[in-house]
Amino acid sequence: MLLVGVDFGLPDFDSELAELGLLAQTAGFAPVARITCKRSAPDAALFVGSGKAEEIRMLAQMHGAQEVLFDQSLSPGQQRNLERVLELPVNDRTLLILEIFAQRARSHEGKLQVELARLKYLSTRLVRRWSHLERQTGGAGVRGGPGEKQIELDRRMIDEAIKRTKDRLVKVKRTRNTQRRHRSRAEVFSISLVGYTNAGKSTLFNALVKARVYAADQLFATLDTTTRQLYLGDIGRSVSLSDTVGFIRDLPHGLVDAFEATLQEAVEADLLLHVVDAAHSGFPEQIEQVQKVLQEIGAQDIPQLLVFNKLDDIAPAQRPLNLVDSYDLAGRSVPRVFVSALKSLGMAELREKISEIVLAHTAAGRETSVSD
């Protein structure tokens, strides 16, 4: 697989295509070469322009690449035109993430959500995927171009499948809302883990609640939301802790929409544990990407506690003197705790900070009740 990235002057451009390479490996592909270029704007027909497209074709031939993968989303027309020029299958970042999600989803809800996103993506690619239909001709008296009736049939089938999947997800969402109402009636303090993919959310979740959620050093190791009770000995009460799907740069909008039921756990939480890979050189950009998704799903105003994970991966001389401090997040000071979920470093401090926030929330709730 040949990886292609186009620099449009955006600050988060991955010049090494490192993340795209990890995504490709996660999906089971083997990158054989990488190429980047600069443009002020995408070429309408080929995204990269005819000259660069020819360069990509020659590089793919040289390395024996069987497929070309772009780090950005391509329009159906650009995808189709590139395949004609490169004479190879061409896919984009969106389809790659969909492929990973399809491989990783385990729960009934997760599979439905991935299927919905896949169907929405496919519905925009009918012209490309069904190009063989151009060989068909309409019958006598049929208006329209060649193959139009069959393409319309395929589109209607996909639209019906999308409707069925949405209806099934509505039922799942209704069940989740019922569970949330039960927790709300019981006055259970709700915490959701959010963060960039591979920041160590599931490892932290397991360390806090002694669960056995699948955790691995790879992108999107787990997709399905898991909720457990976390007992806080300092204050003698339990809270609800949910592990959610990881975020990533340019997370396809279709996936954000499809995973609404899962992400609703974050939207309705009392506190977000925003897990950050403290050892990653680009953690500020990753924090920014998470904030963008939180904004998109309407969770931007929920209180956050930043958990800078993977402390053990930071050189001893560069580790912070204090495990608990604050971090400037979009102009506001947010509490931060440094931990290593894998090595159990800073976990006592994290529990103490969570207990402090829960107590403050409870006290504020009592004051509100009194004033009412």
- How much is the pLDDT for 251? 72
Q: What angle do CA 279, 284, 285 make, to 5 degrees?
A: 115
- How much is the pLDDT for 219? 65
Residue carrying structure tokens 């490892």: 203
- How much is the pLDDT for 9? 92
DSSP 198: T
- Sketch out the chain's domains with CATH numbers: 2-98 (3.40.50.11060), 105-165 (no CATH), 187-371 (3.40.50.300)
Q: Report which of 181, 183, 228, 239 is spatially closest to residue 359, judged by C-alpha positions.
A: 239
- How much is the pLDDT for 105? 74
**Number of Cβ atoms within 10 Å of the Cβ of 200:** 29
Q: Is the pLDDT reported for residue 227 higher than 90?
A: no
C-alpha 30/C-alpha 40 separation (Å) is: 30
Read off the pLDDT of each residue in 322-342 and give the average, rounded to a whole number. 95
Q: Is the pLDDT reported for residue 153 higher than 50?
A: yes
- How much is the pLDDT for 212? 66
Would you list the DSSP string of 325-354?
EEEEETTEEEEEEE-BTTTTBSHHHHHHHH
Q: Name every residue whose Cβ is closer than 8 Å to that of residue 347 and which is 6 or more positions away in sequence.
A: 207, 208, 339, 341
For strand 324-329 and strand 271-277, is the pairing parallel, antiparallel, or unpaired? unpaired
Tokens, residue 362: 């409870």
Q: How confident is the model at residue 335 (pLDDT cuts 50, 70, 90)?
A: very high
Burial of 350 (0-12, 13-18, 19+ CB in 10 A): buried
Q: Is the pLDDT reported for residue 185 higher than 60?
A: no
pLDDT digits (tens, 9 = 90+) for 248-272: 887 766 667 666 656 777 788 999 9
C-alpha 125/C-alpha 133 separation (Å) is: 13
E strand or H helix at 170 = helix 148-185
Tokens, residue 292: 């963008």
Strands (E), the chain: 2-7, 33-38, 68-70, 90-92, 190-195, 226-232, 237-243, 271-277, 304-309, 324-329, 332-338
pLDDT digits (tens, 9 = 90+) for 325-334: 999 998 899 9
Q: Name every residue whose Cβ is closer than 8 Å to that of residue 9 and which is 6 or more positions away in sequence.
A: 38, 40
Read off the pLDDT of each residue in 202-227 and give the average, rounded to a whole number. 73
Task: Indicate left, alpha or beta for 333 from its phi (over 0: left) and psi (-120 to 50: alpha).
Answer: beta
Q: End-to-end CA distance of the chain: give it in Å, rounded.
A: 63
Whole-model pTM? 0.76
C-alpha 370/C-alpha 177 separation (Å) is: 28
Would you list the DSSP string of 38-100?
E-SS-BTTTBS-HHHHHHHHHHHHHHT-S-EEESS---HHHHHHHHHHH-S-EEEHHHHHHHH
pLDDT digits (tens, 9 = 90+) for 160-175: 888 998 898 888 878 7
Tokens, residue 351: 């529990």
Enumerate the β-bridge partners of residue 244: none
Burial of 37 (0-12, 13-18, 19+ CB in 10 A): middle
Share of the chain above pLDDT 70, in %: 82
Q: Is the pLDDT reported for residue 131 higher than 60?
A: no
C-alpha 8/C-alpha 356 separation (Å) is: 45
C-alpha 147/C-alpha 68 separation (Å) is: 28
Q: Is the pLDDT reported for residue 221 higher than 80?
A: no
Task: Name which of 14-28, 98-112, 294-308 the model is least confident about.
Answer: 98-112
Read off the pLDDT of each residue in 292-296 and give the average, rounded to a whole number. 87
The average confidence (pLDDT) of the chain is 84
**Number of Cβ atoms within 10 Å of the Cβ of 157:** 12
**Three-class DSSP category at 37:** strand
